[in-house]
Structure 1
Amino acid sequence: MSRQTTQSVRPTQCFKLTSLTQGLIWAHAALLGCVITVSAQADELQLTPMVITGVAQQSPIKVVTDPRIPRQPVPASDGADYLKTIPGFSALRSGGVNSDPVFRGMFGSRLKLLTNGGEMVGACPSRMDSPSSYISPGSYDELTVIKGPQTVQWGAGSSAATVLFERGPEQFDKPDYRLNSSVQVGSNRRFDRNIDGAIGSQEGYVRIIANASKAHDYNDGDGDRVPSRWNKWNSDFVVGWTPGDNTLLELTVGRGDGESRYAGRGMDGTQFLRESVALRFKQENLSDTWASLEAQVYYNYADHIMDNYKLRRTAAGKMPMATQVDTRTLGWRIKSTWQWSDFELVTGVDGLTSEHRLRARTGGAANKMGRPHSNMVKDAEFNQWGVFGELTWLLTDNERLISGLRVDRHKVEDHRDYLAMRRMIPTCPESASCTPNPTANKNRTETLPSAFVRYENDLQSIPATAYIGLGHAQRIPDYWELFSAAGANGSWTDTPSAFVSANPEKTTQVDFGIQYQQGPVEVWASAYVGQVRDYLMFTYTNNGSQVENIDARIMGGELGGSHRFAPGWKADASLAYAYGKNSSDGRAMPQIPPLEARFSMSYEQGDFSSAALWRVVAAQNRIDEGRGNVVGRDFGGSSGFGVFSLNTAYRLSQNWKVSAGVDNLFDKKYSEHLNLGGNDAFGLSADTRVNEVGRTWWARVDMKF
C-alpha cells in the first residue's frame, strides 16, 4: 500500500460549486465512509511523531523531503511557504499567502518549478498569482530541489534551481484502500482541511486529493492589523491503470480557486482559478539495456481576476478597477533511460506552448468585472521545444561523472497593437497615452544551449561524499520581462521596446560541496560561484519600470548539520548566505536576501516529540535603491531580527497524531527584507515594509489508514 497524504476540499459560499467539484466532494464522503466501516489493515503505516523545523540536504546537490509532514512555522498554505523551510530559500512577501519563492537571490523563471513534470504559468503581469500560489504542498508525495544549473532533464532556463513537486503511483498488492486526512486550526481564524484517499488493486487505482485553507487578517508584533486574509481550495482526481508490474498509465484532472487580499499591492486577487489535465505513461524493463520509457502531456489553465473594491474599500480619489488575465499552457515530454554496467543515459525531447490573454476595458463603470471572459485579447504567445541528454558514468565504485546537454528552440510572438504606460490595456482608448506597437504581430526566435558536468566522489578516508560541478544555462526573457516593463530606454512610447531590447540571460556557475555522516553526526555544505551575462534587471522610476541587461557576479552557499548528542535529543543548525554584485556599474545587486541562520533542538521519545526553533536573520545594507525585479525593488536597508518558536506532537496511535505549536513566541515585531512595501489604500507607505505575523498558535490532527 502506498503512503501519501493530502488535503480535503470544502468550497465555501464564495465559490460556485461546479459539477466536478460536487462529484469530488461526494466521492470524499463515500471514501471516508468506507474507512469508518472497514477496520484498518495497514499496521505498518505509522504517522511520524515529529514536526519539521528545517530541511537538510539529502544527497550531493539535491534536497529531498516529504511535503506532507507538518513543519514549523505554521504548516504551509502554498508552495513558496513550504520552500522557505529549505536553507537558501526565501520569499517575496506581499501578505499572508501567495508569496513568490527566491533561491540564492534568484527569482522568477530562473527557478524551474514543476508539478508532476508539468509547468504552471501564472497570468498576472506583476506575478500576483506566482506559479507557487497554485501549489498545495500537502497534496504531493515528494519535494525535490536540484541546486544550480546541474540538470537538463526538466526544461529550459533553470539557472538557479529546479523544484519538483511530485506524486508517485499507488501500489496495491490486493484490493485495498488507504486514507490520509488532517484538520488544522490556528490564530487569525486559520482553518485547513485536507484529504488524500485511494482505492485500488494490482490492476489500477483511483485517488482523490483535495484541500481547503483560509485565514483572516493577521496582527503583527505590535498588535496592528495587516490586510492578508485568504480563502482557497484545490481538488485533484487521479485514475491509474497498472496492467503489469512494469506499466503505468495515469490520468489526472484538477481544479482550484481562491481569493486573497494584500497589504502590499494596489489590487487584491479575487480569483485564482486553476484547471489542469495530465496524462502520463511509463514502461519499465523494456530490454536488458532499455530501462524505461516515459511520456506525458499536460494542460494547465490559470484564470486570474484582480480588483480594488471587492476585498477592500476603494481609496478616496481612486476609481474602482478590475483586470482579468489568463494563461493556457500545453506541454509534453518523452524520456528514455538506458543502462549499462558503467553508464546510465537519459535522453528525451520536451516542449510547451503558452498563450497569455488579458481583458480589454475602458474607463468608468466598465472597469468593474461584468461577464467573465468577455473581450479577452491575446497579447503574447510562447513556444518552446528542446532535446536533452544526461549521462552518468561510474568511473569506479566510489566515483561518478555526470554530464548533460540540451538545446532549446524558442519562439515568442507579440500580439499587442499598442505600447502604453497603462500596459494592462491591449487596445488604446482615447484616455491613454500610447503609440502603435512597431513589433505588433511579429515574433523573435532564439536557439539556446545549456550544459553541465559534475564530479562526485564517495570519499574513503571519511564517510562523506564530495562534489564539484560546472553548469551553464541560457534563459530566454519570460513574459514579465518582455511585456510587463518598458525597454532599456525607459519609455513605453519609444522604440525599442523590451520585446526587442531584452537579451537572453546567460549563467555560468560552479557548484561544490560535501556531505558527511557518521553515527549521530551529519554535516553538509554546498556553495556556488557564478557569473551572469545579460542579467535582466528592473529599474523603477516615477514613470513605471524598465528592464535592461547588465552583467553580474554571484556567490554564496548553505551549511548545516545535526548531532544526536543524547538518547532522544537532537540539535540542528543551518546557515544560508547569498551575495551579488552588478559588475556593469560596481553596485550591489538588488533584492538579495540577508544572511540567515536556523537553530533547533528537538526531543523524541516513543510517541512524543517536542522542538524549539530559533530563526535569526541579519540586517541587509547591500542594496541598490529603486532596482529589483518585476515584483519587488530595494527601497532601503533592513534590520535584523530573531524569532523563537515551539512545537510538540503526540502519536495517539499508529493512525492518529496531534501536533501543536506557537510561532513567534515573544510576539516580535519584524519584517522581511524582500518585501513589496505597503499600499496607501490601507494607510501604508510604499517605502514601509509590511510586517510579519505576531505570536501565532496552531493545532493539527492527522489521521492515516
Structure 2
Amino acid sequence: MKLTQIATATALFFTAQLAFADNPETQTQPAPAVEFLLPSVEVVASPPSTPLFSITDPKAPRQPLPASDGADYLKTVPGFAAIRSGGTNGDPVLRGMSGSRLSLVANGAPIEGACPARMDAPSSYIAPESYDKVVVVKGPETVLYGPGASAGTVLFERNTPRFTEAGVRASGSLVGGQFGRNDQNVDIAAGTPDVYARVTANKAHEGDYRDGNGNTVPSAWNKWNTDVALGVTPDADTKLELTAGTGDGNARYAGRGMDGVRFRRDSVGLHFEKQNIGKVLRDIDARVFYNEADHRMDNYTLRETPPGSMPMAADVRRRTVGGRIAATFDLSERVEWVAGADWQVNWLASRSVMGIQNLSDMPWTPSATLSNYGVFSELTWFASDVQQVIAGLRFDRAAATDDRQSISGMMSSMPNPTFDEQRTRVLPSGFVRYEQNLRALPLTWYAGIGHTERFPDYWELFSPNSGPAGSVNAFAGIQPEKTTQLDIGAHYRGGAVDAWVSAYAGYVNDFILFTYNTSMGKATSQATNVNAEIFGGEFGATWKPDGHWRVGVSSAYAWGRNADSGAPLPQIPPLVTRFTVDYTLGAWSAGALWRVVSSQHRYALNQGNVVGYDFGPSGGFGVVSLHAQYDINKRTQLTVGVDNLLNKAYSEHLNLAGNAGFGFPANTPVMEPGRTAWARLSFRM
C-alpha cells in the first residue's frame, strides 16, 4: 500500500469518526454518558493480574508493529519468544519450550495446525485483535484447559456482555506502514437484552521487507478472517451462543523449501453457560466445536521454482471435533470446586503432486487419527482473607492411530511397519499452589509445584524420519514426556511502583528431542527421548514518578540442559531485557522502547524440535523503537511508531536457516526487518 493510499484511508476514517461523533443527524439516539479510558501504547505486557495469570487487551495499541498472528502478539509477553521464519507465522516458545508443551485455546476450543513441519503453526490461525482478552498461565499450574500444557496455557477469549438495552457496540482499526503493510479490523455487536449478533473481521497484507543491510527478505503475506456469533440471553445469568468462522491467507518463507499458499480455517461452535444457579451448584459451562485447517504449500506460486528442481505441491488437512463441560460448586463459604470433562478427536490427511497438476483433483490419504478424553478437578480453599490454596488433578486417555500405508523416503516410498497400529496411554497431571497477600506490604506471593504427563503430539510421532534406536519409527518408539516443575513468584503494588517476579525449576523425564543430519544437503531428523533440567524466570517493574512519566523494565531468562549428555538443550532463547519510558500530557503521549538481547553461546548443534534446530551461536543486539499517540476524542486514537529506529541489521537466535531456493546459504539465519514506520487509527464505541 502506498503512503498516499494510507493517508487517504486514514483521512476518510478520521472524517467518518468525527461526523459520527459530532453530527446529531447521523445518530439514532443520544450517545450514552460513558467515560472511555483509551489505552496507552503497550511495549511490554501488563503486570500479572493475579499472582500467576497475565491478562492483556489485544485491541490495545502495541509496539512493535501491530501483530500479524498469535506468535507475533505473544512475543511481547516476558518469557515468550518465537521461532522466526520471515514476515509472519512464527511458532511461539514459552520459557524455551515449544510445540504442544504450550497449549493454545481460541474462543474455548484448542487450535492446531496440519503441516508436518508446522508451517501453519496453531498461532498462525489467530488474528489477535479479533479477541477481547488474552490470558497467559505459565507453568503446569492449571488443569482446566486441556492436556499436556507443561510450559503454559494461552487463552484467546471473546466475551460479548449482555445488552441491558437495545444498542450497538463497535471497535476497529486501520494500520498502514512500510513494506506495504496495511490492516483493516472491525468488531461490531448489535443486540437487545434477549438476543445479539456479533461480527469480527480483519484483512491484512505486507510485502517483502528489507533488513538493516537493505537486502530484501522474501516474507510477503496476506490474511483475512471473519467470525460471527449469534447469542440468546434470556436473563443476566444465561447465555446460549452459536459461532462460526472462516479465514485464509498465504505467506512467502525465506527459510523453507516451499511457501504457504493456503491457510484455510473453518470453525463452528455452540456454547452454553448458566451462572448463579444455586447455593451449591453455582455455574455450568458447556461447549461443542468443530475446526478444520486446510493448508496447502508449493514451490512455484509465490516464488520461481529453483533451476534443476521440479515443481511440487502438497495439501494437508486436520479436522477436529470436541467439547467440554465444567461445573463450579461452592462447597462452603471458603471452598470452591471446579470439575468437568473435555474431549477431542483429530483426523489428519494429506495429498501431494509432482509437477504442475491440479492438486484438488487428487484424493485425500489418511495419515493419523488422534484422540484425547480427559476429566479434571480443581479446588480452591480460601484459608483466610489473605491466604488460599489451589490444587488440581486431571486424567487423560490419549490415543494415536497410524493411518499411513507407506512412508516416503529420499527417493521412493516403502510400506509402513506400523500401519493401522494404535497407541493408548492414561496420563495423570496435577498441581498444588499456595498464595498469600501480606498484610504489612502491598505484596502477593505464591509457590506451587506441578506435574504433567504429555502424550507425544502429531509432529513428534509422524514427522521424524526415524525414532529412538531399536524402534522401527518414531510412532512406535517415542514415549510421553513427564514434567515436574516448581513455580514461585511475587507481585508488589505500591503507590508509584508496580513490580513482579516469577521463577521456575523443573525436571523433564523423556524430553522429546529432535536431532538433524544435514550432511547430505537435505536434513533428515531423528526423534529420541532424553532427560532434561530446566530453570529460569521473568521480572518486570514500572515506576511512575509523577502523573506524566512512566519508566519500565522487564527481563526474561531460560536455561536448559540435557541431563543425559550434559549438553545444553537446543532452541533456548537468550536473555532478553526491555527498557521503556513514556511521557503523557493530556491527550498526547510519546515513548521509547530499547530491546536488548544477549548473545547465546549455549546451543546444541543440529538439535532442536520439529520446526528448527541450532546451527551455531548467535550474537547480541539492541533495537531502539519510538512511538507517539494522540487521543482524538474519547473514542478515537491515532498511534504512530518507528520500529528499529537505527536500522539495525540483526537476526533472532530462534530462527529457521535460510533456504537455498531464495539464494541463502545453508545455516544462514533469516534477518529481521530494518527501520519500519507505521501508523494505527483505532476507535471504540
TM surpasses 0.5:
yes
Counterpart position of 1:556: 536
Deviation (angstroms), 1:327 = 0.3
- Counterpart residue identity of residue 154, structure 1: Y
Deviates more, 1:605-614 or 1:73-82: 605-614
Match of 1:513 among 484, 489, 494: 489
Provide, for residues 558-577 of structure 1, a one-character-per-residue CA deviation record: whole Å limited to 9, x for no partner. Answer: 01101101221010100100
Equivalent pair of 1:129/1:304 in contact (CA under 8 Å): yes
CA distance in 1, matches of 2:263, 2:328: 37
Counterpart position of 1:472: 451
Equivalent pair of 1:406/1:450 in contact (CA under 8 Å): yes
Unaligned stretches of 5+ residues in structure 2: 1-19
Equivalent pair of 2:68/2:88 in contact (CA under 8 Å): yes
Deviation (angstroms), 1:290 = 1.1
Change (3 A) 1:138 1:40: farther
Matches within 5 A, 1:70-89: 70-89=61-80
Change (3 A) 1:34 1:435: farther
CA distance in 2, matches of 1:495, 1:345: 44
1:420 and 2:408 are equivalent in the alignment: yes
Deviation (angstroms), 1:375 = 1.1
Matches within 5 A, 1:166-205: 166-205=157-196
Counterpart position of 2:558: 578
1:526 and 2:505 are equivalent in the alignment: no
CA distance in 2, matches of 1:325, 1:274: 12
Equivalent pair of 1:359/1:373 in contact (CA under 8 Å): no
Equivalent pair of 2:136/2:153 in contact (CA under 8 Å): yes
Counterpart position of 1:496: 472
Matches within 5 A, 1:336-375: 336-339=327-330, 340-361=332-353, 363=354, 365=355, 368-372=356-360, 374-375=362-363
Equivalent pair of 2:468/2:474 in contact (CA under 8 Å): no
Query: Identity of counterpart residues, as a percentage?
Result: 47
1:114 and 2:105 are equivalent in the alignment: yes
- SS state of the match for residue 565, structure 1? coil
Deviates more, 1:235-244 or 1:539-548: 539-548
- SS state of the match for residue 129, structure 2? helix
Deviation (angstroms), 1:504 = 0.2
Counterpart position of 1:19: none
Match of 1:484 among 463, 474, 492: 463
Deviation (angstroms), 1:37 = 4.9
Deviation (angstroms), 1:178 = 1.3
Counterpart position of 1:52: 42
CA distance in 1, matches of 2:30, 2:156: 29
Deviation (angstroms), 1:142 = 0.7
Counterpart position of 2:667: 687
Equivalent pair of 1:170/1:205 in contact (CA under 8 Å): no
CA distance in 2, matches of 1:631, 1:527: 27
Provide, for residues 372-410 of structure 1, a one-character-per-residue CA deviation record: whole Å limited to 9, x for no partner. Answer: 263111110001101000000011111100000000001
CA distance in 2, matches of 1:81, 1:523: 25
Equivalent pair of 1:45/1:655 in contact (CA under 8 Å): no
Counterpart position of 1:673: 653
**Aligned length, in residue pairs:** 659
Counterpart position of 1:664: 644
Deviates more, 1:36-45 or 1:572-581: 36-45
CA distance in 1, matches of 2:63, 2:162: 31
Counterpart position of 1:539: 515
Change (3 A) 1:127 1:45: farther
Deviation (angstroms), 1:420 = 3.1
Equivalent pair of 1:47/1:704 in contact (CA under 8 Å): no
CA distance in 1, matches of 2:26, 2:512: 56
CA distance in 2, matches of 1:700, 1:420: 47
Equivalent pair of 2:387/2:434 in contact (CA under 8 Å): yes
Equivalent pair of 2:210/2:216 in contact (CA under 8 Å): yes
Equivalent pair of 2:347/2:369 in contact (CA under 8 Å): yes
Change (3 A) 1:450 1:34: farther
CA distance in 2, matches of 1:75, 1:329: 30
Counterpart position of 1:452: 431
CA distance in 1, matches of 2:601, 2:656: 17
Counterpart position of 1:63: 54
Equivalent pair of 1:487/1:501 in contact (CA under 8 Å): no
- Counterpart residue identity of residue 232, structure 2: W
Equivalent pair of 1:47/1:656 in contact (CA under 8 Å): no
Deviation (angstroms), 1:49 = 4.9
- SS state of the match for residue 138, structure 1? helix
Aligned CA-pair RMSD: 1.7
Change (3 A) 1:35 1:136: farther
Counterpart position of 2:416: 437
CA distance in 1, matches of 2:360, 2:119: 19
Counterpart position of 1:400: 388
Deviation (angstroms), 1:419 = 2.6
Counterpart position of 2:4: none
CA distance in 1, matches of 2:474, 2:80: 29
Equivalent pair of 2:352/2:359 in contact (CA under 8 Å): no
Counterpart position of 2:442: 463
- Counterpart residue identity of residue 518, structure 1: G
Counterpart position of 2:676: 696
CA distance in 2, matches of 1:474, 1:686: 36
CA distance in 1, matches of 2:437, 2:466: 49
- SS state of the match for residue 587, structure 1? coil
- SS state of the match for residue 80, structure 1? helix
- Counterpart residue identity of residue 345, structure 2: T
CA distance in 2, matches of 1:590, 1:181: 40
Give every structure 1 segment of 4 or more consecutive aligned residues whose post-TM-superposition deviation is greater than 6 Å.
31-35
CA distance in 2, matches of 1:108, 1:571: 34
Matches within 5 A, 1:622-633: 622-633=602-613
- SS state of the match for residue 360, structure 2? coil
Deviation (angstroms), 1:447 = 0.4
Provide, for residues 87-115 of structure 1, a one-character-per-residue CA deviation record: whole Å limited to 9, x for no partner. Answer: 00000000100000000000000001001
